[in-house]
Amino acid sequence: MQVNDLWKGKHVLVVGLARSGIAAAQLLVKHGAAVTVNDSKTREALGDALIPLENLPVQWRLGCGAQELLPGQDTLVISPGIPDTAPFVVKAKKKGLHVIGELELAASLCPGTMVAVTGTNGKTTTVTLLGEIFKNAGKHAWTVGNIGFPYSQAALEATDDDVLVCECSSFQMETIETFHPKAAALLNITEDHLNRHGTMEEYIRLKMRMFENMTQEDTAVFNLDDPLVAPLAATVRAHSIFFSRKKEPVEGAFVRDGMMVLRMNGLEEIVLPLNEIYIPGPHNVENALAAAAVAAAQHVPTSVIADTLRTFKGVEHRIELTRELDGVRWYNDSKGTNVDSTIRAVQTMDRPTVIILGGSDKHCDFTPLAKEMLASPAMREAVLIGVTANQIEDTLRRCGWERIHRAHSMEEAVQMCREIAKPGWNALLSPACASFDMFRDYEERGRVFKQLVADLA
């Protein structure tokens, strides 16, 4: 890794010592910065997470707020969980400090070619799928960003020949400046994170920031079937192409007569029959189309794309078949953290299904989910948990859904599903909510669910 002299001797305060903050501090030390690390949690509470920093020359300021640490600093690096409206961030900007997020820091220092993916749903699946496509094409590929592996961690080791496939959240886009993918895809936009962003207009604006530094030499990929997404293609400088399950764009990836087709630079190629895509569901056809369009824009051979789609088995916590017991299939869709994501899981169910719903509140409307459940031939019963249980029950009953059960814990919810589900049924965890009322994150929620299911006699 070449050292970037721009950071040499700079005083940098890194706030938030989750995975991205730890990696950002490591990266800054490598580039010669004088780093202070801060978290409101104590050293004891952070525990083993701090091990990567123990032998590095950083200043520790733990168990306190960041506001009093601003004097003497040149730059503030914040984790995605910290909004750019936080009082200490606003104060830092007023004092003239340079304020960026970990993603911006890493992207500015990391060699290699970066492609990026954003959207309300499908990001992790599409990013992971793209990583596999590039690996199968002979590239050393990293999947980074909101997927859970910090971009800064990859930046410590990546080379010019590597490919960085970056999952971008709206939170991360608040603090970018020079972030510049060579190809980027916007999968879809539905209501989400309004508890942080306030309005859909602001949420969309932040999603679109991913494209703001791209040029005509780059490729922007948009969902032609999404009425909120398709018109946005006209607002970017990059060369725009599309993916679609329902239409045939002039350029991009689409479906014709049950086949996936790529049309690039005026040339058409059949990729594979849709029924050969390993991961199930119409939403995964969309994810596969988006990944194919991005990969083709980066000159990956069609045969490599097809072979990967035939073998890629999906990601953990996304409609993941956990176990079949007594004729009941148990699915972990803990990554269903918003209404639209859970709707997609509901649409994938092809057997009678009992669903576990509920979690922490993101200020979303559950009416579309209730209507989808009523329209679905598969959905039979609902078990509600978490802070939003009352809100979900009110919405379900208002829409005419009456088959409702209430549980006080995930363990109780699993036991209820065990009693309800008959041979030939599915039991689906797809909460349509964030997890923070009962769990650290959706991954912990999914792991707890899987363990409870594994323990069923």
CA proximity to 297, closest of 213, 176, 212, 214 = 214
pLDDT-based confidence at residue 22 (cuts at 50, 70, 90): very high
pLDDT bucket at 194, cuts 50 / 70 / 90:
low
What residues act catalytically?
Answer: 123, 146, 193
Examine the pLDDT at 147 and tell me if it is beyond 90: no
**Percentage of residues in the chain having pLDDT higher than 70:** 98
What's the chain's length in residues? 457
pLDDT at 197: 65
pTM equals: 0.83
Alpha-carbon distance values, 301 to 130, 189, 234, 262, 298 (Å): 13, 29, 28, 11, 9
User: In a 3-state reduction of DSSP, which class is residue 35?
Assistant: strand
Which tokens go with 211? 């494209």
Q: Is the pLDDT of residue 287 over 70?
A: yes
382, 38, 1, 385: which is closest to 159 by C-alpha?
1
Residues of the chain with pLDDT > 90: what percent?
Answer: 88
Residue 298 three-state SS: coil
pLDDT class of 362 with cuts at 50, 70, 90: confident
| Per-residue pLDDT at 2 exceeds 70 | no
What's the average model confidence in pLDDT over 261-277? 96
Per-residue pLDDT at 361: 87
Percent of residues in the chain assigned helix, strand, coil, to nearest 5: 40, 25, 40
CA separation for the pair 53, 76 (Å, rounded): 18
Under 8 Å between Cβ of 152 and 27 = yes
pLDDT single digits (tens) 109-123: 999 999 999 998 899
What is the H or E stretch that residue 331 is in? strand 328-332
Q: What is the pLDDT of residue 195?
A: 67
Query: If we measure between CA atoms, which residue out of 142, 106, 145, 143 comes closest to residue 4?
Result: 106
Tokens 């049924």 appear where?
425
* pLDDT value at 1 more than 60: no
Question: What's the whole-number mean pLDDT along residues 340-365?
Answer: 93
- Structure tokens that stand for 26 in this block: 């490591």
Task: Catalogue all structural domains in the chain, each as residue range(s) with its CATH number.
Answer: 5-101 (3.40.50.720), 110-311 (3.40.1190.10), 320-454 (3.90.190.20)
Contact 359, 456 (CB under 8 A): no
The string of DSSP codes covering 333-378 is: -TT--SHHHHHHHHHH--S-EEEEE--B------HHHHHHHHH-SS
Is pLDDT of 150 > 60? yes
Scored b (16 or more CB within 10 A) or e, 29-54 reads: bbbebbbbbbbeeeeeebeebbeebe
User: Is a pLDDT exceeding 80 seen at residue 223?
Assistant: yes
Exposure string (b/e) for 186-200, b if CB count within 10 Å is 16 or more? Answer: bbbbbbbbeebbeee
Task: Quote the pLDDT of residue 193.
Answer: 64
pLDDT band at 146 (very low <50, low <70, confident <90, very high): confident
Q: What distance lies between CA 262 and its chain's CA centroid?
A: 25
Q: How far is 201 from 446, CA to CA, in rounded Å?
A: 31
Q: What is the mean pLDDT of the chain?
A: 94
Q: Which two tokens stand for residue 266?
A: 């005026």
The pLDDT of 278-303, averaged and rounded, is 95
**For residue range 34-71, what is the model confidence (pLDDT) as tens digits?**
999 999 999 999 999 999 999 999 999 999 999 999 99
- Structure tokens belonging to residue 324: 């079949």
What single-letter amino acid sits at 440? R
Number of H helices, E strands in the chain: 16, 20
Instruction: Decide if pLDDT at 3 tops 70.
Output: no
* Confidence bin at 457 (pLDDT 50/70/90): confident
Render pLDDT for 238-260 as a digit per residue (tens, 0 to 9). 999 999 999 999 999 999 999 99
Q: What confidence tier does 302 reach under pLDDT thresholds 50, 70, 90?
A: very high
Q: What is the pLDDT of residue 135?
A: 98
| Cα 154–Cα 157–Cα 159 angle in degrees, nearest 5 | 100
